[in-house]
Structure 1
C-alpha cells in the first residue's frame, strides 16, 4: 500500500504548493539525511479573524500511514493544547479524521476543517474535560484561555 500512499502524498504536495489558503503552511518533514518524509507533515493554521483564536498561528503535525488514503491520517497540536476536542497528547478529535473519513479528503480540507474546529468546538465529542467544562459553563473564562493560548503561538511577520 505504501506505493499508493506515496503517490497520493506526492500529488497532495504538488496541489498544496499550487493552491493553498492564505496564511496556512504545510510541508513534509525533512529526514536527518536531508530527504523529504512525505508521511510526516509540519503545518500551521492561522486563527480566524474576529475570533478569540485570531493572532495565533497554530502548529499541527499530520502523520500519514502506509494505508493512506484508505485510512485517515493522525493530526495533532502540541501536547496540552487547550481545546475541548483535543486530547491531552495533542491529538485532534474531528469527524473527518474519524467516522466521516473519505479517501477523497485532501490536506487542504483537513487543515480548513481543523481551523473551523478551533472556533466551533463540538460539545458532543469532548476530548479534554477542563476545556469542555469552560466552553459549556463559563464562556468568558474559556475565551480568556483561548486568547492566552493565541499569544503563545503568535503569527510572526515576515520581513
Structure 2
C-alpha cells in the first residue's frame, strides 16, 4: 500500500462505523478541504460536557490529527489553545495515557473521544500538563469548578 494507505483504510472504516453508531452529542468527521475533498488524516470533533458535571452544557471542539503510522501510533488530540484543564497543555494538546504509553492499535476514534470526555470531569493531577489549572484544582477546587463552568459557557451547542 502507498504511504499512509493502512492509516487511511482504517480511518475510512472508522468513519463508516461512526456514522452508523456514535455517542449522543458527539461529532467526529474528517475535515473538508477548500477544493471539497475530504482529508481523512484530520478530524474535526466536538465533545459534549457530561450531564451532571461542571462541564455540562459545553460542546468542546477538538481536532484529531493522524499520521501515516496510525493505528500503530495514536492521533494527536488538541482543544483550542488556552483550554482550561489539568491535563491539557497550553497549546491545547491533551495529555492522556491512552494517547501515549497505554496506546493500542485496537483503540478506536470513539474510544478516544469518550476517554477524553471522561478525563474532563475526572482529571489526573499526577500527570498535570498545565500549571495554572493544576494549582487551582489542588488548592481551591471550588474556584476550579467555577472556571470550568465559565469555560463551558464559552462553548455552547452549535445546533
How would you bin the TM-score normalised by the shorter chain? over 0.9
Deviation readout 1:43-101 (Å, 9 max, x if unpaired): 00000111100000000000000010001100000000000000000000000001010
What SS does structure 2 have at the residue aligned with 1:75?
Answer: strand
Per the normalisation by structure 1, the TM-score is 0.97
Per the normalisation by structure 2, the TM-score is 0.97
**1:20 alignment partner in structure 2:** 22
Residue 132 in 1 paired to residue 126 in 2?
no
What SS does structure 2 have at the residue aligned with 1:43?
Answer: strand
Structure 1 gap ranges (5+): none
- Structure 1 outlier segments of 4+, above 6 Å: none
In the comparison of the two structures, how many residue pairs are matched? 157
TM-aligned CA deviation for residue 18 of structure 1: 0.3
- Equivalent residues in 2 for 1:3-152, closer than 5 Å: 3-152=5-154
What SS does structure 2 have at the residue aligned with 1:9?
Answer: helix
What SS does structure 2 have at the residue aligned with 1:41?
Answer: strand
| C-alpha separation in 2, matches of 1:31 and 1:136 | 42
RMSD: 0.7
From 129, 154, 157, the equivalent of 1:155 is 157
| C-alpha separation in 2, matches of 1:50 and 1:69 | 33
Deviation readout 1:87-130 (Å, 9 max, x if unpaired): 00000000000101000000000000000000000011000001
TM-aligned CA deviation for residue 17 of structure 1: 0.3
